[in-house]
Amino acid sequence: SLLFFQGYLESYLFSERQAKMAKAKAKASKPAGGKAPSRAVPESIKKKQASEKKIADVAKAEAATAQKKAKDDVKIFADNAAKYQAEYEAAEKLAIANRRSAKANGGFYVPAEPKLVLVIRIRGIIGVTPKSKKVMQLFRLRQIHNATFVRLNEATVRMLRLIEPYVTYGYPTRATVESLIYKRGFAKLSKQRIPISENEVIESGLGVKTAGAIRCTADLVHELVTVGPNFKAANNFLWPFKLTSPRGGFSSKTKLLHFMEGGEAGARGEEINKLVKRMI
């Protein structure tokens, strides 16, 4: 029994010494703050975190740049609109002054010939001659009630006379051009028909092509009304306007007659604005 007690005591003392050594070792490895040591982060996670931070920084910088650009563009577009409005008013005042001066001198004032016409297709495909069909394709009038702007010159005047039985055309006012763009305006971007709901659509389609000359709706309207140097790019940028049947309709008896004979086809001068108002 004495040997058994002596062996038990030695094993107990040995286990106590082992426990104290383990506690001292753990205390030595513990940091000064009293917290357990953190696990090492894998290298793949570090790379992912760095990549995500880089993407977030780039997105934040781009958002700040876009916000600053949008704020600056609002001021630029407002200044352009005010400049164009002053130009329109000056032209109207000059025309009035010229008419008064001519009347005072016993003469007549003859304004400059219009450079822009609006062409509207009023007949379908039945009975259209091949040459007339080709001309309407060149004018992008492929469907009934389609409308496009055309610059007047010797060639286009001859083409219009060739398709007079199938279209009607006249000289649109600035208000008519604005109304068409705001209410029925669609852009052609990457061969897609995109509604012109914001200036960014115009800038993305015409900003580079026109070297920044056309960036907003005011620029586009001014370029079309004045038939400026970028008229071709601006006109091709616009999808052909899709108008509706005019309120009140066309007369079935006189629709095929020329406008001067009481019909609807052919040239109608300033009266085109009244027709467009009924078709928008």
- The gap from C-alpha 84 to its chain's centroid, in whole angstroms, comes to 20
pLDDT of residue 96: 94
Confidence of residue 8 (pLDDT cuts 50, 70, 90): low
Name the token pair of 213.
């000359």
Query: What confidence score (pLDDT) does residue 29 get?
Result: 61
267 DSSP β-pair partners: 169
For residue 188, the SS3 value is strand
Bin 112: left if φ > 0, else alpha if -120 < ψ < 50, else beta. beta
Model pTM score? 0.76
Question: For position 6, what pLDDT does the model report?
Answer: 64
Question: What confidence tens digit (pLDDT) does each residue in 58-88 have?
Answer: 999 999 988 898 888 899 999 999 999 999 9
For the record, the structure tokens of 184 come out as: 């029925």
Say what angle helices 174-184 and 217-226 make with each other, to 10 degrees: 140
Q: What is the pLDDT of residues 214-268, one digit of tens each?
A: 999 999 999 999 999 999 999 999 999 999 999 988 877 778 888 888 889 999 9
116-132 pLDDT per residue, tens:
999 999 998 888 999 99
> pLDDT at position 37, please?
57
The residue among 22 and 87 whose pLDDT is bigger is: 87
SS (H, E, C) 206-224: HCCCCCCCCCCHHHHHHHH
Q: How many CB atoms lie within 10 A of CB 114?
A: 13
